[in-house]
Amino acid sequence: MKFLGKFFLTLVLLLLLGLVFIYVMLQTQWGAGWFSRWVSDKTDWHLSLSKIEHNFSAPSHITLDNFSFGHDGQPAVLVAKRVDLGLALVQFSDPLHFSSIELRDGEINLANLTPTSALPVQANRLQLNNMRVDSPNNALPLFAQQVNGGIVPWKPTASDMLGRDAQFQMSAGTMSLNGVPGDNVLIQGSVTQGRMLFSNIGADLARGSMTGNGERDAQGNWKINQLRLNDIRLQTASNLGDFLRPFQNVPSISITRLDMTDARLQGPDWAVTDLDLTLKNLNWQGNDWQSQDGSLAMNAGNFINGRFELNDPIVNVDFSPQGITLNQFSSRWANGVIRADGNWSRSDKRLTLDNLAVAGLEYTLPENWRVRWQTALPDWLDSVLVTRFTSNRNLIIDINPAFPFQMTSLDGNGENVLLARQHQWGFWSGKVNLNAAEATFNRTDLRHPSIALTANDQQIQVTEMSAFNNKGLLEGTAGVGQQADRPLTLNLTGRAVPVNVLQNWGWPALSLTGDSNLQLHLNAALKANEPLRPTVNGNLSVTTDNQQLQQSMQAGQVK
């Protein structure tokens, strides 16, 4: 019996001595190297570390120095100068589930993690200290430096570094989230079965600041409860369409409240300065939107898109399931002022402007304005109706060398003017009266020109047209059909006007001189994208003090 007792005591002592030997050897450089090789040989992962430390003052913690871990034959997923592993009783059943893991002074590069595998370790808490994180293939691509924070609990999956259910808090010196860069970033929130809740987000963004909260579901739909942007100064190499495209590519964005103050945004051919904006209760999905009780209040110093520029624009609109109510739009444009109010109806895609006023414009028409006039409107805009229109002291110029014109101090008014229907610009119905102090049409000067027009489905009728030329007066009436070939009829009378007053407008020069009385009766077709002259048929009668001339034109040729 004494022998058996001594035998087992000796065995226990030897085991204890062996454990002490292993404990001591593992904390040497040789032991750390042996353990690294053993893990690398026995698993699909490679491990490298320079030292394993344990201190009885903190018996439940093991420290690893100069730690590197990743897939065999691949760059490391995790590199850290120091890793602190907190041990727990659960490790008797799950050896790779730690009480805590603290990573210090290193890098996590999830681009080096294969898509079908997850990190083989878990922890009740993951703590990061001065780490760099690169996760380009995540649902929200992330790159961050000087990261400090924690995840509780940390159970990473192959598709999500955060895990399926966790709370997180993270700060970073610099961070790019989904392509949006920021400095001094703070993020607090949680993830539940793929749904990410951001309870608090703060960052220095584009020399300004951003604060807010919101959430993102597993399908990529965003809900922004509150977002505030202050003093943003953003410059981008993208044109306006490319800049806005990411918002269209997201499945949906639901905005409860968005505030932007004193923002300046600039691209290669567009800019917005001194922008203040408040947007409420709007859901944007692709190229469409929905809202129950939304609103937008916006003003800016300037808005520039190519050659189009608005100064001091103000916009106030309300959103509803039925459409948009434009409570106010006003802006300085082309050295003048434009004001409007009205609504857009979702059911028929009609924009109705109850009041449209333009005053003091000095506007040169773009070279391709005729092409734009004939271009079909987008799907969301079927028709445009102006209930009441006023124009005061405007200057309109066209520098097209084929037929330039200019109208000075152009005044006018209109009622129930249908400017577009079935996605096509035109003058489809209503009444318009226009007059100017002076005008020039292809180098022919006119004084006090005026015109009165009415339109219906069949015809545009010019009920009154007059202008002074030199010492005489031109008067006339005209009609233009609404059919595709646009048949035109014109009756023009001149009293004491120069004989060749019509020469600059396309009628051949006459052999007479001096002032004359004339009568012109003309028919033609104003077909789109086709010349006018070959369609002209007309008769001209000219009488001077001692001579009279009759001419006719057929298919654009004088007979």
- 361-392 pLDDT tens trace: 999 999 889 889 999 999 999 999 999 999 99
User: What confidence score (pLDDT) does residue 302 get?
Assistant: 95
CA distance 53 to 67: 12
Q: Which residue has the tokens 């609504």?
A: 343
CA distance 328 to 341: 5
Same domain? 49 vs 191: yes
Domain for residue 231, yes or no? no
What is the domain extent for residue 99? 44-205
Same domain? 57 vs 175: yes
Domain for residue 281, yes or no? no
- Please enumerate in sequence order all residues whose Cβ is within 8 A of that of 478, keeping only pairs 6 or more positions apart, or say none: 461, 462, 465, 488, 489, 490, 491
Same domain? 59 vs 36: no
Q: Which residue has the tokens 């604060």?
A: 211
User: What confidence score (pLDDT) does residue 10 get?
Assistant: 53
Same domain? 82 vs 19: no
Same domain? 54 vs 195: yes
What pTM did the predictor assign?
0.85
Same domain? 176 vs 27: no
User: What confidence score (pLDDT) does residue 91 get?
Assistant: 75
Structure tokens at 178: 């989904």
Same domain? 465 vs 551: yes
How many structural domains is the chain composed of?
3
Same domain? 140 vs 77: yes
Per-residue pLDDT of the chain (559 residues), as tens digits, is 554 455 445 555 545 554 444 544 445 566 667 777 777 888 888 888 888 777 766 677 888 889 898 888 888 889 999 999 888 877 778 888 889 999 999 998 888 887 777 788 899 999 999 999 998 877 678 889 999 999 999 988 876 778 889 999 999 999 987 778 899 999 999 999 888 999 999 999 989 999 999 999 988 899 999 999 999 998 888 888 888 887 777 889 999 999 999 999 999 999 999 999 999 999 998 888 999 999 999 999 999 998 899 999 999 999 999 999 999 999 999 999 999 999 999 999 999 999 999 999 999 999 889 889 999 999 999 999 999 999 999 999 999 988 999 999 999 999 999 999 999 999 999 999 999 999 999 999 999 999 999 999 999 999 999 999 999 999 999 999 999 889 999 999 999 999 999 999 989 988 888 899 999 999 999 888 888 889 999 999 999 988 899 999 888 788 7
Domain for residue 176, yes or no? yes
Residue 172 phi/psi, 5-degree rounding, is: -145, 145
Domain for residue 78, yes or no? yes
Same domain? 113 vs 163: yes
Domain for residue 131, yes or no? yes
User: What confidence score (pLDDT) does residue 178 get?
Assistant: 73
- Please enumerate in sequence order all residues whose Cβ is within 8 A of that of 120, keeping only pairs 6 or more positions apart, or say none: 43, 45, 96
Domain for residue 541, yes or no? yes
User: What confidence score (pLDDT) does residue 25 get?
Assistant: 47
Burial of 2 (0-12, 13-18, 19+ CB in 10 A): exposed
- Please enumerate in sequence order all residues whose Cβ is within 8 A of that of 380, keeping only pairs 6 or more positions apart, or say none: 287, 349
Which of 183, 205, 227 is at the close of a domain?
205
Which of 180, 205, 230 is at the close of a domain?
205
User: What confidence score (pLDDT) does residue 484 get?
Assistant: 86
User: What confidence score (pLDDT) does residue 164 get?
Assistant: 85
CB 152 within 8 A of CB 136: no
CA distance 304 to 271: 5
> Helices (H) and strands (E) in the chain — how many of each?
4, 37
Same domain? 543 vs 487: yes
Domain for residue 212, yes or no? no
CA distance 132 to 81: 12
Same domain? 24 vs 143: no
User: What confidence score (pLDDT) does residue 504 get?
Assistant: 93
Same domain? 23 vs 88: no
Domain for residue 184, yes or no? yes
User: What confidence score (pLDDT) does residue 32 get?
Assistant: 64
